[in-house]
Amino acid sequence: MTNTHEILNSILENKINSFKSHNDLINKTYGEIEDFCYFQLDEHLLVKLRDYLKKTSLTCLASSNKIGNDYLILSDYKNSNKIKEIDDNLIHFKLTKCKVIEELHNFIRNKVKNYIKSPFSFVNTRAWVTKPNTTTVGPKISLIRMDFLLGT
């Protein structure tokens, strides 16, 4: 069995396999993650998220590519047709750091921390709705009905 010191040396010596070595070190230190975790957001949190999203401005991938917003994932897409296709099929919400998103992170953390086992952080949070009759671009299935989100 490999000890922690050997795994750490492997990370430093072999940069090609550093991700695997890092994963081995985390598994050795904290234990392997569970294969599966399932949970649902509670109704109270869903209502808070819905109300927050109703007041949240919309954005698109094309504009998020052009602005340096801390709360948007900047895309690597270079193909403007692909970006347009995604924007034609998804409604993106321009999220900001706020109490509701923090509550969402805390809820999720409490549900998954025993499965993940090692320390982790939330780097980014995104919200979108898949438009009706979309192509197969982006997430095909909207998990929360649009009428619930937008109150229509």
Determine which of 43-47, 48-52, 78-82, 138-142 has the lowest per-residue pLDDT on average. Answer: 138-142
pLDDT tens column, 33-48: 877 788 899 999 999 9
* Domain extents in the chain: 1-32, 36-150
Assess whether pLDDT exceeds 50 at residue 134: yes
Determine which of 30-44, 47-61, 67-81, 84-98 has the lowest per-residue pLDDT on average. Answer: 67-81
CA distance 83 to 134: 14
Assess whether pLDDT exceeds 60 at residue 139: no
pTM above 0.75, yes or no: no
CA angle, residues 76, 98, 110, in degrees to nearest 5: 90
For residue 1, what pLDDT band results from cuts at 50, 70 and 90? very low
**What pLDDT score was predicted for residue 125?**
86
For residue 12, what pLDDT band results from cuts at 50, 70 and 90? low
Both tokens assigned to 79: 């193909």
**What pLDDT score was predicted for residue 13?**
67
Helix (H), strand (E), coil (C) string for 74-115: CCCCCCHHHHHHHHHHEEEECCCCCHHHHHHHHHHHHHHHHH
